[in-house]
Amino acid sequence: MLVAGEASGDLHGAALCRALRELDPGCRLFGMGGARMTAEGMKLLVDVTANAAVGGSEAFGQVARLYRAYRELRAVLEGAERPAVLVLIDFPEFNLRLARAARRVHIPVVYFIPPQIWAWRGGRVKTIRRFVSLVLAVFPFEAPLYRRAGVPVEFVGHPLLDQLERAPTREAARRRLGLDERTAVVGLLPGSRHQEVVRVLPAMRGAAAEVLRAAPGTRFVLGLAPTIPRDLVAQHLAGGPPVEIVEGQTHAVIRAADLALITSGTVTLEAALLGTPMVVCYRLSLVSELLARLVLRVPWVSLANLTLGRAVVPELYRQTTTSAGLAREALRLLSDAGARDTQRAAFGELAGQLGEPGVGARAARLVLAQAGAA
């Protein structure tokens, strides 16, 4: 059984499903995920990826739906056709509860893309030590942290390394999107959750208008996440400058862009690995932001800065995620080749820290070994 609760988890889970079936064509895959995991042969029992929430207060509205999903999956774990192994993918609030249920019935638990105990809620490592059989770490600094806490762990590398091998070159991406090589292009990545788009896209739209006034001829291309309806994005772009909405080509949008305005999340790491300079922003509710400030153990939110351990890309928070703030940072980067090159140099350093391609196969072998030992 595999369990993912967000669009990024569905993406990484799909790669793992594919690798599992390649190594063991007879293995039966089922669980919670989305369209990508289904396409790779997993029987979908539950899908909450389109309704994932960001922040503490925002998640309250999803509690009933997630509890129903939890009860359904727990029933499978306790049933006659229980899985040989449970694979958890990110989504820690939900998945750690499911790990507890699995261990009660002696099912081994593998955690792929584990909780970021190094960033916040470090006390969860005690729960992980009790209920998780093996952690598959995706960042190199995670393995020693878990090992010191007494948690079995293997560093497999970040799954984006596999996915980005198929990303187009800048030239190919621009041809695919119909963009002239000499045109300044700004990519907009407003997120994969409804709340993210509603909160951030109006500021991006306003920033695009200011950038266009200062740099006429700039093109804007928005990479639409599969969990976001096109009409929602169109609604929040209305009244702004022309923005081309592109579905299913996020990597092409990132690669084609001279600069990306990005909502904090996995996509910041994708942009870094693809070498695209960026400005990162996010907007939580006031309650969620206050909660985050109480529990966060690091000064950054973007995975690029977190992985490198220093401020490489600008981050705008709730109060500073404004059209003027985004436009100011965007225009600074667009006009300063040295600043863009500084980001790219740091991104090259980051890529060298995340391991080598073949992450899916390495993870799949370890999952199958746990299943065989059950």
Nearest-angstrom CA–CA distance, 18 and 116: 25
pLDDT at 284: 66
At residue 258, the pLDDT reads: 98
Least confident range of 53-62, 137-146, 178-187: 53-62
State the pairing for strand pair 86-89/134-137: unpaired
Cβ–Cβ under 8 Å, residues 87 and 9: no
Specify the 3-state DSSP secondary structure of 166.
Answer: helix
Comparing 24-33, 70-79, 277-286, 291-300, the range with the smallest average pLDDT is 291-300
The dihedral through the CA atoms of 113, 117, 119, 123 has a sign that is positive
Express each pLDDT in 26-37 by its tens digit: 999 999 999 999
pTM of the model: 0.85
| Alpha-carbon span 340 to 238, nearest angstrom | 30
> Does residue 330 contact residue 207 with C-beta atoms inside 8 Å?
yes
Distance CA 325, CA 98 (A): 41
Supply 186's token pair: 């700004």
Question: What is the pLDDT, as a whole number, of residue 120?
Answer: 61
When mean pLDDT is compared across 2-11, 51-60, 155-164, the lowest value belongs to 51-60
- Please state, in angstroms and rounded to a whole number, the distance separating the CA atoms of residues 172 and 4: 32
Instruction: Report, as an integer, the average pLDDT of 60-73.
Output: 86
Cβ-count burial of 121 within 10 angstroms (0-12 exposed, 13-18 middle, 19+ buried)?
middle
CA distance 325 to 203: 9
End-to-end CA distance of the chain: 13
Averaged over 173-188, what is the pLDDT?
97
Helices (H) and strands (E) in the chain, counts: 18, 13
Sign of CA dihedral 39, 42, 43, 44: negative
Query: How much is the pLDDT for 57?
Result: 41
Residue 29 makes CB contacts below 8 A (sequence gap 6+) with 2, 17, 20, 21, 37, 40, 41, 42, 43
